[in-house]
């Protein structure tokens, strides 16, 4: 099989796996809890964006009573009255926009935007000294599952880093290896926007993929 044919085959395998896994919401975001504070007659933050499967927890940190009441149709959730120190939480299992308000103080409004996790397939080639694609774009705050596979040769200590030399790992991802013919998956949640790198340089492989994180 030619190198081009091998690359095509691996691409189909990786992308096919990505699409298949993407149908199972249980793989992403489960167990994640995002907090919203109720204080000074406002929800803080007012708007949040979370992946499917996230639990949002509201805490009344003020003195006045409030509610967390969905204004969508049908109503998605309703906390009832929350007194000072009380909490309410709801797990979002489907994508969409979920506006809400305080029924006691209707001018207090908020929004939960729920999105599907992002999935990216990355192919590594030592012979060509590059990866495919060479630039990956993802969104801040959204869980990303990165599928890695190698065409040829082992890629030890692949690093997601703030620098091209792989000296400053980011997003809590530890250096990982990618072996030929073996699917390696890495899951992370970018917590800041900017340009980062998926780099192989620590072991002399001059291969760098640009990772662009957008707000």
Residue-wise pLDDT for 8-25, tens only, equals 333 333 333 333 333 333
Q: What pLDDT, on a 0 to 100 scale, did the predictor assign at position 204?
A: 77
- Tell me the average pLDDT across 173-178: 94
Instruction: Clarify whether residues 108 and 122 are in a common domain.
Output: no
Q: Residue 215: which pLDDT band, with cuts at 50, 70 and 90?
A: confident
Same domain, 182 and 110: no
Q: What is the pTM of this model?
A: 0.59
Residue 51 pLDDT level (bands cut at 50, 70, 90): confident
Contact of 110 with 103, CB cutoff 8 Å = no
Which of 115, 138, 169 is a domain's end point?
Answer: 115
pLDDT at 11: 37
The per-residue pLDDT of the chain, averaged, comes to 85
- As a whole number of angstroms, the distance between CA 57 and CA 209 comes to 36
Regarding whether 153 and 130 lie in a shared domain, the answer is yes
Pick the last residue of a domain from 115, 149, 178. 115
């Amino acid at each position: 099989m030619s190198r081009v044919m091998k690359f095509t085959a691996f691409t189909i395998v990786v992308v096919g796996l990505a699409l298949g896994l993407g149908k199972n919401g249980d793989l992403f975001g489960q167990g994640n809890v995002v907090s919203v504070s109720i204080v000074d007659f406002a929800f803080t933050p007012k708007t949040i964006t979370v992946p499917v499967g996230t639990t949002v927890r509201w805490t009344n940190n003020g003195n006045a009573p409030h509610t967390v009441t969905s204004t969508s149709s049908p109503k998605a959730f309703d906390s009832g009255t929350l007194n000072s120190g009380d909490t309410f939480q709801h797990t979002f299992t489907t994508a969409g926009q979920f506006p809400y308000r305080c029924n006691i103080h209707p001018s207090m409004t908020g929004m939960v935007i729920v999105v599907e996790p992002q999935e990216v397939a990355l192919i590594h080639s030592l012979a060509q000294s590059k990866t495919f694609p060479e630039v990956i774009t993802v969104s801040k705050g959204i869980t990303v599952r990165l599928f890695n596979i190698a065409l040829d040769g082992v890629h030890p200590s692949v690093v997601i880093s703030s620098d091209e030399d792989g000296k400053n790992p980011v997003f809590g991802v530890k250096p990982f290896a990618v072996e030929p013919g073996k699917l390696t998956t890495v899951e992370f949640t970018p917590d800041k926007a900017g340009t980062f790198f998926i780099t192989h340089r620590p072991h002399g492989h001059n291969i760098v993929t640009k990772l662009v994180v957008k707000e």
